[in-house]
Structure 1
Amino acid sequence: MTFDIKEIMEIIPHRQPMLLVDRVEVIEEDKKAVGYKGVTYNEPFFAGHFPQEPVMPGVLIMEAMAQTTAVLLLNKEEMRGKVGYFGSMNKVRFRKKVVPGSLLRMEVEILKQRGPVAVSYGKAYTEEGLAAEGEMTFMIG
């Protein structure tokens, strides 16, 4: 099942400039998804991070993975209207820069879910290889 940007905005509350995922493919229901973000020169954060050498902030790479996870968690009808709030990030590592013109590909997997708490692990890739990875905890409310 694949969600385009319009469908994503029906599932999660994020809007521009904080919507950081363009498409999500659910690979395994309730378990795995792949999200995509075309990183353009027009991203507002590039104006200040850094003007001489634009680099996507690591925290926004993690946010893009979190949004991909939120689509995976909240795409069911009974979850509509709920929000996945970030609880924590653990074991986060940044490996390569994400620059304008990159296609960010985010692979996320739910490690465990109990009630309103879910833990996932994500990896973000560009054409250059693994850019970032880390564990994310969410509270669904």
Structure 2
Amino acid sequence: MSTEKINLDIHKILTLLPHRYPILLVDRVLELEPHRSIKALKNVSINEPYFMGHFPKRPVMPGVLILEALAQTAALLTFAEEPHDPHNTLYLFVGIDNARFKRVVEPGDQLILNVTFERHMRGIWKFDARAEVDGMVAAEAGLICTVRRADRNGQSDAASR
């Protein structure tokens, strides 16, 4: 197990994740320690499409999208550990434990996404996740995720059972 810390730019992120605009919510990986933890960055811009309706007079990043950004960060940690074919792999959220929102996230904020590996058993990964702005916790949760092979229609092999 390497203790070397790795960072990834947007070009590498695009090779690891299937997400694209407007749902790609990780701009850069600042630190990645395989099998342990990852620290990523999401620059929150007023140009995000969800701000038109959430909320027009006081734009706030939806909490569910903060959790999605954390899940994408967890996926990057998982894919750094497990070889996969991004065209035939689905990374699925299967659970969220103890989600808490402590601070609003607004345009101009830099969302720092910290995810720590907890355990992996029988195809299920568990993570401790925390999103921060200016050193203050914006959201935190336990994330539970799995990786499934996609069929030729892009559906999970588990969905066809």
TM category (shorter chain) comes to over 0.9
> Which residue does 1:133 correspond to in 2?
140
**Matching residue within 12, 15, 38 for 2:17:** 12
Q: 1:84 aligns with which of 81, 91, 103?
A: 91
Is 1:12–1:83's contact at 8 Å kept on the other side of the alignment?
A: no
Letter in 2 for 1:22: D
The normalised TM-score by structure 2 is: 0.83
Q: Provide the C-alpha distance between the structure 1 equivalents of 2:13 and 2:135, rounded to a whole number of angstroms.
A: 27
Q: Deviations over 1:40-88 (max 9, x none)?
A: 0000000000000000000000000100110010125722323320001
Larger deviation, residues 51-60 vs 107-116: 107-116
| Whole-angstrom CA distance in 2 between matches of 1:79 and 1:115 | 17
Root-mean-square deviation over aligned CA pairs: 1.3
For residues 43 and 136 of structure 2, what CA distance do their matches in structure 1 show? 15
Q: How many residues align?
A: 141
Where 1:80 maps in the other structure, the secondary structure is coil
Larger Rg: 2
Q: Structure with the greater relative contact order (CA < 8 A, sep ≥ 6): 1 or 2?
A: 1
In structure 2, the gaps of 5 or more residues are: 1-5, 149-161
Q: 1:61–1:132: 8 Å Cα contact kept in structure 2?
A: yes
Query: Which of the residues 91, 98, 105 maps onto 1:98?
Result: 105
Q: Counterparts in 2 of 1:1-141, with a 5 A limit?
A: 1-76=6-81, 78-81=83-86, 82-127=89-134, 129-141=136-148
Percentage identity across aligned positions? 37
Poorly superposed stretches of 4+, deviation over 6 Å: none
